[in-house]
Amino acid sequence: MNKEKDRVNIEKDSRRNKKLSAREVALEILTRVAEDQAYSNLLLNQTLERYKLERLDASLVTEIVYGTIQRNNTIDHFLQRFVNKGLEKLQPWVSSLLRLSFYQLYYLDRIPPHAVVHEAVEIAKKKGHRGISGLVNGVLRNVLRSREELTIPDNLPPVKRIALQHSHPEWMVSKWIKQYGERTAEQICASNNEPPKSSIRVNTLKLERTALLERLRNQGLQAEASEIAASGIVARSGGNLALAEGYAAGEFSIQDESSMLVSEITDPQPGMQVLDCCAAPGGKTTHLAEKMHDMGTIWANDVHEHKKKLIEAQAGRLGLNCIRTQVTDAAHLSERFAEGSFDRILLDAPCSGLGVIRRKPDVKWSKSEREIAGITDIQFSILSDIRNLLKPGGVLVYSTCTLMREENEGMIARFLEQFPEFEPDPELEAMLPEPVREKAMLSAGMVRILPHHFHSDGFFIARLKRKSPDG
């Protein structure tokens, strides 16, 4: 419902005023994220497409939207002292305007402060009245006068200091300190505020990675081979890679490097029967198909009918024919297939998503500690249901894009305890590229990549084998 409401509102705004400034567009997005809990990445893409901003303006909107959401609680911590009645008493758009203006004044050094204040006041006049524009002007000028005093004390308790310094919820910081220690928890939080890298996966059925690298460089892009994914390329510039030459022809897909490792570790062979339990939008499914040379069968399942079309569209663009799609709740897949049907099963499980905060900064504010318990129940329910679909001697790969131990190592320990016919596959370590073996966190049949290891998404991958009856 929120997505449809966002789309309608954007269309209305677009018709009403086609010449909104970059900061006005950013304000609209931030206000709707705050009011409707809309996903910032989806709303940002929709809005940029509707308003068709110039490239520099689109970059500024992206910077302001993501930066303001990333730094939300630190910004509010500082702003509260300048708003007598409290930010929560202001209209949502006024709070959002103050936050995005503070972000520019405090975190960006390329925009003149007087320009930030002037445009904020003009927006306040346009959307509100003289009283509101006066409040905005007064608050922002006080911020400028107090700029040097706005620091986080070093003597705060670790959880509070890291939460304010790097703008994360305290419950999240507390859990990561318990699981990883204070230093690593701070590295994770700091890395979550960095801009995400752009990476693509070469469709090796159509061309070699070296050929695509050469072409991208000839187009003026700064591109280099991924050090952690065999078919990956990291692009340092180039904007929207979906518009680059070769994408529409299926020569590459846009995918994070850590995510590419999942299909590498699944290691399907040509002619195999493979089940991808939660397949949408299809990045890992199509990677599996490419590794199988498009020979064999992959059943790509998802619980949402509309997402099935996303998988089919990606398979069509890449020229892959071995993928079959279906819509089923993954916890009931045993009702659709006979026992022992598959050589490989991939469960890229529903999870809290706390490894991709860099790409979806609103995730850290929308998730709660209580939600994680509910998610682990779903994960275990799916694992329990699909286990018998694997042939004896077959491989089950379980992955998540979160950093929470209870969804990762804890989930695998729980599964192995209840189903001793499975065991961790010690071959996983040998399948990993050397940089991953050196930097990532390894345990028996499992690997966890944290966001600061390679500045890619945080990911957990476990490779389990179903024991044969003869051992």
Which residues are annotated binding-site positions for S-adenosyl-L-methionine?
278-284, 302, 329, 348
Catalytic residue from among 277, 322, 351, 401: 401
Q: Are 28 and 64 in contact (CB under 8 A)?
A: no
Residue 150 CA: distances (Å) to CA of 64, 97, 102, 110, 389: 20, 19, 11, 19, 58
Q: Are 262 and 399 in contact (CB under 8 A)?
A: yes
Report how far residue 98's alpha carbon sits from residue 79's, in angstroms, rounded to the nearest whole number. 8
Report how far residue 467's alpha carbon sits from residue 425's, in angstroms, rounded to the nearest whole number. 10
Helices (H), 108-145: 113-127, 130-145
Q: Are strands 273-276 and 297-302 parallel, antiparallel or unpaired?
A: parallel
User: Diameter of the chain by CA atoms?
Assistant: 82
Phi, psi of 445 (to 5 degrees): 70, 15
Q: Which amino acid is at 185?
A: A
Point out the annotated binding site. 278-284, 302, 329, 348
Torsion of CA 207, 211, 217, 219, to 10 degrees: -60
Token pair of 110, please? 């390329």
**Which distant-in-sequence residues (6+ apart) come within 8 Å of 51 by Cβ?**
14, 18, 20, 25
Q: Which residues pair with 459 in a beta bridge?
A: 449
Give the three-state DSSP class for 322. Answer: coil
H or E element, residue 286: helix 283-291
Report how far residue 145's alpha carbon sits from residue 189's, in angstroms, rounded to the nearest whole number. 29
Q: Which amino acid is at 265?
A: I
Pick left, alpha or beta for residue 246 (phi over 0 → left; psi -120 to 50 → alpha; otherwise beta): left
Q: In 3D, which of 61, 55, 49, 66 has the Cα closest to residue 14?
A: 49
Active site annotation includes 277? no
Q: Would you name the residues annotated as active-site residues?
A: 401
